[in-house]
Structure 1
Amino acid sequence: MPMDVEQQVSVIGLGYIGLPTAALIARSGAKVLGIDVSAHVVDTVNSGRVHIEEVDLDGLVQGVVSRGLLRASLTVEPSDVFVIAVPTPVSEDNAPDISYVLNAARTIAPVLKAGDTVILESTSPVGTTDAMRDLLRTLRPDLKMPGAGVGSADIAIAYCPERVLPGRILVELIDNDRCIGGITPRCARKALGFYRQFVRGACITTSARAAEMVKLVENSFRDVNIAFANELSVIAERAGIDVWEVIRLANRHPRVNILQPGPGVGGHCIAVDPWFIVHSDPENARLIRTAREVNDHKTDHVVAKASDLIDLFPGEDVACLGLAFKANIDDFRESPAVKVAARLARRYGRRIKLVEPYARELPVDFVGTGAELIDLDSALERCGVFVLLVDHDMFKSVPADERVGKAVYDTRGIWPDQPVRVPESGLRAVGG
C-alpha cells in the first residue's frame, strides 16, 4: 500500500542498508530524512548520487531526491518514525560493540515526541533494543517508554533486522519476509503498520529479544554450513581429491545441500554476527565458535598454499583475482580475499598484481606494499601465477586458451579445466 504522505521518517545511517531503505520508503511517498556522520555521504545523496554500488540504487536515489522526497543531513530533525541502521562491529576480542546504536539513540532523543516510533534494524546482540529503550528513558524522563510495567507508552520501540543479499538489496527489502520484534506487543503492531506500507513479504511480529536472536541464528546457520565446506576442502586437498566434484556429486542426494568452499568468510554479517552468540553464552556456543575458527583458519591455509605456489616461480608476477567478500559486488568489508592478498603483498611486494573490477583504488590494507591494481587483460599478459579468490563473472568468462601456461591456485573452483603447470625445477605446482 502507498506510504502515508504526511508521515515524516528519519533513517539514521546511510550505509549499505540505510540508504536503500531510505530511498524505498521515499519512493512509497513519505518524506524521508537520511542522517549520517559523514559530510561526504550527505553531500553525495543531496546531489542525487550514491556512494555505494548496488543494482538500480543510483536511479532510485536520483528520482526520490529530485522529487523532494529524500534529503540528507548531519543533523537530526523531528519525525514520526526513526529507523536506526548503523554498524554493530566486534572488538579485537570479538566482543560486540553497540556504541553506534546507543549514540544513534542519543542523537534522536532530543527530538522525540509522544506518538513516535523507533525501530532498530542493525544486527545486534540480544538485549540491545532493551538497552536502547533504557537509555532513551534516562535521556527523556518526560516520555513514557514501553515495558517495565508501563501501560500506554508514549514511544513505540521495535527491532526489525534486514535480511538481504548484496546485489539484490532493493528487491529483497520489499519482497523478503520481515520479523518484527516489539518491546511490547503494542510496539510490534505499531512497527508492523509502518513496514506494511512498503514491504510485500509477510510481516510477522514477535518480541524484540526473539527477533534479535532470529537474525543472529540466520547468519550463524550459514557460517556453520560454510565452515563444513571449507573444512572439507582442506581435507580433500590433502587427499588429492577435487572438492568441487565431491560436493557436486554429494549434493545429488535428495537431503544433502553442501555449500561451496572459498578462502574464508567475509561481509558485514556472517563473519561477525556469530560472535554475538558466542559472547553471550561461550560455554554452550561450542559449534558456533568452532565454525568461526574453521572459517578464519581457511584464510591462513589459503595464504600458505598460495605462498607455496608463488615460491615455485620466483621470477614471475602474481595476479590475485578479486578483493570483494563475494562475487559481483563492490563490498570489501571483512573480505577474506583482501586478507589473503594483503598478506601476500606484504611478503612479495611489487610482484603482486591485484585484479578487482569493482575497485577504483586499492583498500588501505595495501598501502606501502608496492602491490598494483591492474585490469584482467593486463594480468593475463603479464602474470604467470594466478590466485583466484573471488568468483566474479568476469573471471569465469576467461577461456582456457587464454590461461595456457599459467600456474593457478583456485580457491573458488571456477577454472576446473586448468592444467597444472610444472616449474622448470621439475617440482609439481599447486593445482586448482
Structure 2
Amino acid sequence: MVSDSELKVVVLGLGYIGLPTAAVIARTGARVLGIDVHEHVVETVNSGKVHIEEVDLDGLVSGVVARGHLRASTRIEPADVFVIAVPTPFDADHAPNIGYVLQAATTIATVLKPGDVVILESTSPVGTTDKVRDMLSQLRPDLKVPGRTGESADIAIAYCPERVLPGRILVELIDNDRVIGGITPRCARKALQFYRRFVRGACVTTTARAAEMTKLTENAFRDVNIAFANELSRVADTLGVDVWEVIRLANRHPRVNILQPGPGVGGHCIAVDPWFLVHGAPDDTPLIRTAREVNDAKTDHVIAKAIAMIEAMPGVPVACLGLAFKANIDDFRESPALKVALALAHRFGERVRIVEPYAAALPDAFLGTGAALIDIDAAIERCPIFIALVDHDVFKSVPLDERVDKHVYDTRGIWPDQPRSAFHGAAFRLAG
C-alpha cells in the first residue's frame, strides 16, 4: 500500500462515525475525501467546522481541513481505500434496511479500479458484505471480485465495525481493538494494513460474516443486560424497594455486575442492532427479542408513571430533563427520553418545559405542542416537577435538598441518595 502522504481515502457518510473516522485518518497525513448527501454537512466540514457534538472533534476537523488533508463533497472521486459509514436503520416491522449501504456500493463502483480496498463499517446484518461484493461484481464485470475468483481478485472487500462510545469516539477509534473480516483472507490482510495506520489497539482478522455477527452480538449482549436492569426496576417499584440501592448492594458480590436502569434504550446501535439478529434467525432468538420488548416497554412504563405524577399536581409546570439517548451528547436517535418528553408534551402542552443543554432548539416533532426549551436554572426556578430522563453532568449539580423544592421522577439514578418514597427536606423522588 502507498505511503501515508500519498494514500487517498474516501469515507462515505459524515455522521457520528464517518466524520470522526475521516478526521482521524486525515490526521495520519492521508488525503481524505468525505462524501455526504447533505449539502449543509459538506459546507460545514469544508469550512473547518462540525455539525455534531463530540469531544475534541471540532479542533481535529479544523486542523486537518486547514492542512488540506480533509475535504468534503457530494460527488465521489477515485481513491485507494473506500470506507462505507452510512446508516443501517430498520423498517416498521424491524426488518433491517441496507439500502444506504448498497447505494454507497453503487456509488463506489463508478470509480473503482484494480488494487482498491472497500471496507464496510456500518453495523449490518450478517451477509451484507457479501451483498456489497455481489453489487460491485454486477456493476463492474471488468473487475475480478474476491470470493468469486480466488486469491487473484483485483480488489479487496472487508467488514470492520466501529465499536466506540459517544463522547469518547476519537480516543476509542484509536485505542479499541478492531475485528476485521475479509471476504477472503487476502481481503482481511489488505484491510488490516489500512487500519494499522491509525489504530493502536489489536487488529484481529476473521471472516466477514463472523465480524458482522460479532458487532451484533456485542450490542445484543448490552441490550439483554440493560433489559434485566430495567425489569428489575419495575419489580422493585412494585415491591416498594429502592432499585438503586438493591443494584448497588448486589454489585458488591464479586461475580455480579448489574447495569443501571433507565427510561428505555436509545441510540442507533443497541436499540436497533439486536433486531438484525432476530430477523436473521427468528426461531432461535427468543431471549434477544424479549430483551428488546422489555426495553421498549420500559419507555411506556415511564410515560404512564410520569403522567400519573403530573396529573396529581394540576396546572403546575413540568421540567423534562434531557432528550439525548445518553449523557453529555447531542444524539437523539431512538432516544427513549425524547419519546417520553414528546408524549408528555402532546398530553400537557404548555405545562411542559424541556431542558436539553445539547440542543439549541427543540426538534421539529415538538412543533404545535406548546412545549418550550429552557435552561436548568429556569427549570429550578419555575418548575415544581422534574422528570429526569438523561443523566447529563449539569443535572447532577442540582442539589435536591431543602433549598430545591421539587417533586422528582428520577429514571436515571441522578440523585441516588434521595429516598424513594418519602420527603427528604422538600424533595420527593420516585424510582425508575
Query: Contact 1:237–1:243 at 8 Å: present in 2 too?
Result: yes
Query: Contact 2:236–2:242 at 8 Å: present in 1 too?
Result: yes
Give, in whole Å, the separation in 2 of the partners of 1:3 and 1:124: 31
Residue 25 of structure 2: aligned partner: 25
Matched, 1:157 2:151: no
Q: CA deviation at 1:417?
A: 4.0
Task: Find the residue that maps to 2:11 and give its secondary structure.
Answer: strand
Matched, 1:256 2:241: no
Give, in whole Å, the separation in 1 of the partners of 2:422 and 2:354: 21
**Which stretch of structure 1 is more off in the superposition, 144-153 or 397-406?**
397-406
Residue 98 of structure 2: aligned partner: 98
Aligned amino acid, residue 70 of structure 2: L
Residue 13 of structure 1: aligned partner: 13
**Which stretch of structure 1 is more off in the superposition, 306-315 or 401-410?**
401-410
Give, in whole Å, the separation in 2 of the partners of 1:195 and 1:219: 22
Give, in whole Å, the separation in 1 of the partners of 2:403 and 2:212: 47
Pairs within 5 Å for 1:263-302: 263-302=263-302
Alpha carbons of structure 1 residues 68 and 402: separation in structure 2 relative to 1, 3 Å? farther
Query: Contact 1:233–1:243 at 8 Å: present in 2 too?
Result: yes
Residue 196 of structure 2: aligned partner: 196
TM-score by length of 1: 0.96
Query: Contact 2:151–2:186 at 8 Å: present in 1 too?
Result: no
Q: CA deviation at 1:407?
A: 1.0
Residue 42 of structure 1: aligned partner: 42
Aligned amino acid, residue 247 of structure 1: I
Residue 146 of structure 1: aligned partner: 146
Query: Contact 2:189–2:205 at 8 Å: present in 1 too?
Result: yes
How much identity, in percent, do the aligned residues show?
A: 75
Q: CA deviation at 1:95?
A: 0.2
Q: CA deviation at 1:400?
A: 2.5
Deviation digits for residues 168-223 of structure 1 (CA, Å, limit 9, x no counterpart): 00000000000000000000000000000110000000000000000000000000
Task: Find the residue that maps to 2:148 and give its secondary structure.
Answer: coil
Give, in whole Å, the separation in 2 of the partners of 1:405 and 1:187: 62
Matched, 1:244 2:244: yes
Query: Contact 1:277–1:285 at 8 Å: present in 2 too?
Result: yes
Unaligned runs of 5+ in 1: 423-428
Residue 405 of structure 2: aligned partner: 405
Give, in whole Å, the separation in 2 of the partners of 1:365 and 1:285: 34
Task: Find the residue that maps to 2:191 and give its secondary structure.
Answer: helix
Residue 207 of structure 2: aligned partner: 207
Deviation digits for residues 279-324 of structure 1 (CA, Å, limit 9, x no counterpart): 0011110000000000000000000000110011002100000111
Query: Contact 2:380–2:404 at 8 Å: present in 1 too?
Result: no
Query: Contact 1:322–1:355 at 8 Å: present in 2 too?
Result: yes
Give, in whole Å, the separation in 1 of the partners of 2:143 and 2:102: 18
Q: CA deviation at 1:403?
A: 5.7
Give, in whole Å, the separation in 2 of the partners of 1:250 and 1:94: 34
Unaligned runs of 5+ in 2: none
Deviation digits for residues 42-85 of structure 1 (CA, Å, limit 9, x no counterpart): 00000000000101100100100000000000100000000000
Residue 425 of structure 1: aligned partner: none
Pairs within 5 Å for 1:11-410: 11-401=11-401, 404-410=404-410
Query: Contact 1:180–1:206 at 8 Å: present in 2 too?
Result: yes
Alpha carbons of structure 1 residues 319 and 261: separation in structure 2 relative to 1, 3 Å? same
Deviation digits for residues 256-282 of structure 1 (CA, Å, limit 9, x no counterpart): 000000000001100000000000011
Q: CA deviation at 1:5?
A: 1.2
Residue 426 of structure 1: aligned partner: none
Q: CA deviation at 1:402?
A: 6.7
Give, in whole Å, the separation in 1 of the partners of 2:402 and 2:138: 65
TM-score by length of 2: 0.96
Give, in whole Å, the separation in 1 of the partners of 2:346 and 2:271: 23
Query: Contact 1:3–1:28 at 8 Å: present in 2 too?
Result: no
Give, in whole Å, the separation in 1 of the partners of 2:243 and 2:321: 20
Task: Find the residue that maps to 1:253 and give its secondary structure.
Answer: coil
Query: Contact 1:278–1:289 at 8 Å: present in 2 too?
Result: yes
Query: Contact 1:309–1:430 at 8 Å: present in 2 too?
Result: no
Aligned amino acid, residue 204 of structure 1: V
Query: Contact 1:318–1:384 at 8 Å: present in 2 too?
Result: yes
Alpha carbons of structure 1 residues 374 and 398: separation in structure 2 relative to 1, 3 Å? same
Q: CA deviation at 1:150?
A: 3.1
* Matched residues, number: 426
Alpha carbons of structure 1 residues 374 and 196: separation in structure 2 relative to 1, 3 Å? same
Task: Find the residue that maps to 2:78 and give its secondary structure.
Answer: coil
